[in-house]
Amino acid sequence: MLSDEQFVRYQRQVALPDVGECGQHKLLNGRILIVGCGGLGTAAAQYLAAAGVGSLVIADDDCVELSNLHRQLAYRMTQLTLPKVAALAQTLASINPDCRVRTVQRKMAGSVLDLEVAHADIVLDCSDNLETRHAINAACFAARKPLIAGSAIGWEGQLVAFDFANQPQGCYRCLVPDDVTPTSGRCTDLGVMGPVVGSIGNLQALMAMQWLLQLNHFQSHQVMRFDGLNMQWQKWHLLNDPDCSVCCASPSKPHSTTNLASPINEDES
C-alpha cells in the first residue's frame, strides 16, 4: 500500500489505468543505472526521481563547469567545480526523498561496470564517448539487462533501446561498429542545442518507466532520430549484424545491416 503522502505525490500517475498503485510499487522497487551525468543523464534522472523510481545509481567522473549549465539543468552556479554525481545527488534529494541515490565518481569500465549492470534492473547510457558506449553495450548484453542509449549533437538527437533478455540479437555495436571512426564529434567542437539534449534524456526516462511498468509499448531495437530544426522524427528497425562480436549472431544468417546511423555523442564534460 502507498502511504498517504505517496498517494498524493504520485496521484497523477496512479490515476493512469496502466499504472495504478501496482504500477507505482513497481517504480518504487525499480533500480536504474545511469552512466553519464551530463545533459542526457541529468534530464533522465530528475524525471525518474520525481516519478518515484526507488533506486538510482548515477556514474560520472567529471565536475560541473560553467559551459554545462545551458543544457544540464540540474546544476546551479553554486555547484561549479563540484563532482557532477555529488551535485546531481543534491538536486535529486531535493526533488524526492523516496528516491535512494548512490553515486559512482569514476569512469565506468571493466569489473566495476559489470557489477553495477548486474545489480540494475535497467541501464541508461547517457555517456559521451564510443568507448564507454561499447563497454556498456557489451556488459548489458552479457548480463541480459535492458539498455536505453541516447545521444545528441547540434540539432539532432538519437534514441534506441535493447531488450537483451527477450531479444538477444542486435545491439549497439550492430548500429555503430567499434572499428570505425565517428563521422561527427563532440559538442565542444560542433555545438548542441540544449532542449534537444533534454528531450532525448526525458524520453530515456519515459522508456525506462515503460519497461519497469512492464508495458507492451516498450519499443526495443527501434532507432529513432529527432531533427530539432524541422521538428521531425525518423525511425528504423535495427537488424542484427551477423558478424557482430557482441551479440554473436549466427554467421550462417544473411547479412542484414551495419551502421544504420552514424554515431552522435553528447559532450558530458
CA–CA gap between residue 153 and residue 155 (Å, rounded): 6
Q: Does the structure show a pLDDT above 60 at 259?
A: no
- Give strand ranges (E) for the chain: 31-35, 55-59, 100-104, 122-125, 147-153, 156-162, 222-227, 232-237
Better pLDDT: 269 or 103: 103
Better pLDDT: 259 or 94: 94
CB atoms closer than 10 angstroms to residue 161: 25
Is there a domain that residue 264 lies in? no
CB atoms closer than 10 angstroms to residue 210: 17
Q: 167: pLDDT confidence band, cut at 50, 70 and 90?
A: confident
Is there a domain that residue 2 lies in? no
Mean pLDDT of the chain: 91
| Region of poorest pLDDT, from 21-25, 29-33, 169-173 | 169-173
Contact assessment for residue 161 and residue 218, using Cβ atoms and an 8 Å cutoff = yes
For residue 223, what are the domain limits? Answer: 11-237
What's the burial of 179, exposed, middle or buried (CB within 10 Å: 0-12/13-18/19+)? Answer: exposed
- What is the bridge-based pairing of β-strands 222-227 and 232-237? antiparallel
User: The domain that contains 92 carries what CATH number?
Assistant: 3.40.50.720
- CA dihedral 212→44→92→54, nearest 10 degrees, is 10
Is there a domain that residue 259 lies in? no
CA distances from 259 to 30, 127, 262 (A): 32, 19, 6
Secondary structure element (H or E) that encloses residue 13, with its range: helix 11-14
Q: 181: pLDDT confidence band, cut at 50, 70 and 90?
A: low
Is there a domain that residue 268 lies in? no
Q: Does the structure show a pLDDT above 70 at 257?
A: no
- What pLDDT score does 35 carry? 98
Is there a domain that residue 109 lies in? yes
Is there a domain that residue 193 lies in? yes
Q: Tens digit of pLDDT for each residue in 115-143?
A: 999 999 999 999 999 999 999 999 999 99
How many structural domains is the chain composed of? 1
- What pLDDT score does 264 carry? 57
Active site residues: 187
Secondary structure element (H or E) that encloses residue 254, with its range: none
Angle at the Cα of 175 from the Cα atoms of 266 and 84, rounded to 5 degrees: 25
Residue 208 corresponds to which cell in the numbers above? 525506462
Q: What are phi and psi of 59, to 5 degrees?
A: -125, 130
3-state secondary structure of 34: strand
Is there a domain that residue 246 lies in? no
Is there a domain that residue 179 lies in? yes
